[in-house]
Structure 1
Amino acid sequence: MKTFTSFFICVLISMSAFAQDYALKQLENSPRHHQWVTLESQGRELHNFVVYPQVDEDVPVVIVIHENRGLNDWARSFADQLAGKGYIAVAPDLLSNTQDGIEKTSDFATSDAARSAIYELDPDGVTQDLKTVLNYAQNMDGGNGKVAVAGFCWGGSQSFRFATNAGDTIEAAFVFYGTAPEDQEAINRIEVPVYGFYGGDDQRVNSTISRTEEMMIIAGNTYEYEIYEGAGHAFMRSGDDPNGEQPNIEARNNSWNRLVKLLSNL
């Protein structure tokens, strides 16, 4: 009975994390306009969650790159929160139609299944998808042509990698607890500022920061980062949960304020 009870509790925790009720509630209560936009990329349909701010002028666009479990409710709620600050947010579902019978992340049976599919993606293919999204973002109605990228975990690493391939076609890359490419030649191609956001209790990622900083200095590139003590990996998501741990909530709030300030300078 004890073993079964422990297993049952673990299942409930996993289901709760996948459901992200707090994020779904935030989306449902949002006054902003949400829509799904389908783009053609590499011979398939790429789905994108788009949120518009309630403003009367053209504004910058932020491409939101999701975590390693796909475009979940929290990633969409983050996009909505960005729109609440006056930016158009475009959140591509990079798992779109990459598995038979799976159109979107929400079609996977579990977040673990989505995570497995993420790591089967070809990095160059991900970059091509992001270039497709970038072209859309640069030319969309309501946008002023300026585009930045922001990503989390796996998406943070993709944000850094995209900066090595996008030249000056983006304004900045915001990397939340993601790692940089290890190739100096790739780092040398970066032409825009990169801003990092890291949790103090995330040694796997943080152990790469000094090397990243060294490479960015060699390349003459801007790399500014903050480490939020006491916060763990994925603190932007866990800190958004009203029932989350206080260090993660504080790190999320401080990071959010920093992000908004940086975006205002685009």
Structure 2
Amino acid sequence: MNSRKTLRPRLAAAAASLALLGAPVLAQSAGPAERPAPVPGQSNFQRQQAAQAYATAKLAKTPRRHEWVAIRMGDRTLRAYVTWPQTKAKVPVVIVGHEVFGLTDSTRNTADEIAAMGYITIAPDMLSGLAPNGGGTSALPAGIDPGTMDTLLPSEYANAQFDAWADYAQKLPQSNGKLAIVGLSWSGGAAFRYAAMKHHPSLKVVNVFYDIGPPTSGQFLAKFDPKFPVLPVTGVDVPVYHFIPTLDTRVLNSAPATKAAMDAAGKKYEQIFLEGAEHAFFRVGEDPKNTNQANRAAIAEAMKRLKVILGAM
């Protein structure tokens, strides 16, 4: 399933699709709060970074050690932002996956806040090596939408990256060998699919934030083919916690089918509903321009639940 022979033709198909699309196609809801108004000459990454200045400011003040790291996966270099907890004890590692926009400061800020609970966090750029000159999200030129790139990545390619970072985590001297994933938006769905498919043995729990889960695939070929096979959940062998904002209708409407599939398969699965909160509340709720107090309340509630969930590993 994860062989290069399988990945190459599907990646080629994704690249061909990108060339043919000619316009951004996003699987995630994308309201005005999520997609800043274009500025001529700016890339999507630059627009997102400008809109997330509040997250950049918080990161600049963090007391925790952090660094950019690079690893090899086949012929590509993968990059991630690693944050270390303020303890010398051996601790679990939490992979914090980014939204459909690619790795931006909002996701890095969420990773920092999880590290503050006492975990090593790895925030990978899932577009590493796909931009010109082997770059990632920040190197995508104007006119190329990270959302199009992300949603066209085959699950096998995303899974291979999760595996690569899990291998890296196992080699960290401070790691106790346990791994969790916190997936935000696009990467939440990717993490759920990873749990349902062959995954790294160190994985102990998956936390899915505001994205749909199996049996709906939701990404890659399913975006273009309504008859694309559903993804069975029989392979899920770790607990999955699904954080669902009640104003995120796309995710909310898909929740009953996911629960029915997981319950029928006898899997440990819990849906956590955040009343009145919007899609991407981690990012939107921290924005000083946010007027929906339910988003801030959702951040507090989600962090409270995460502390318990991660602490049970």
Listed as ranges, the matches of 1:53-92 within 5 Å are 53-92=85-124
Would the alpha carbon gap of residues 115 and 86 (structure 1) be closer, same or farther in structure 2, given more than 3 Å must change?
same
Equivalences for 1:152-191 in 2 at 5 Å? Answer: 152-164=184-196, 165-166=198-199, 168-182=201-215, 186-191=232-237
Shift of 1:65: 0.9
Aligned counterparts of 2:143 and 2:195: Cα–Cα separation in 1? 27
Return 103-112 or 153-162, whichever deviates more.
103-112
Shift of 1:142: 0.8
Q: Give the Cα–Cα distance (whole angstroms) in 2 for the partners of residues 76 and 119 of structure 1.
A: 20
Match of 2:300 in 1: 253
Aligned-residue identity in percent: 34
Q: Report the equivalent of 2:11.
A: none
Rounded to whole Å, the distance in 1 between the matches of 2:78 and 2:257 is 34
1:31-180 pair list within 5 angstroms? 31-101=63-133, 103-109=135-141, 113-164=145-196, 165-166=198-199, 168-180=201-213
Contact 1:168 1:191 in 2 (8 A): no
Residues paired across the two proteins, number:
257
Superimposed CA distance per residue, residues 81-117 of structure 1 (whole angstroms, 9 cap, x where no aligned partner): 1111100001110101113235121223469722222
User: Unpaired segments of 5 or more residues in structure 2?
Assistant: 1-35, 216-228
Runs (5+) with no aligned partner, structure 1: 1-8
- Distance (Å, rounded) in 2 between the aligned partners of 1:233 and 1:112: 23
Match of 2:32 in 1: none
- Paired AA for residue 229 in structure 1: E
Which deviates more from structure 2 when the two are superposed, residues 237-246 or residues 202-211? Answer: 237-246
| Aligned residue in 2 for 1:208 | 254
Displacement after TM superposition at 1:32 (Å): 0.8
Higher RCO, Cα 8 Å, sep 6+: 2
Q: CA RMSD for the aligned pairs?
A: 2.0
TM-score by length of 1: 0.90
* 1:224 partner SS: strand
Match for 1:223 among 269, 273, 278?
269
Deviation at 1:185, TM superposition (A): 6.5
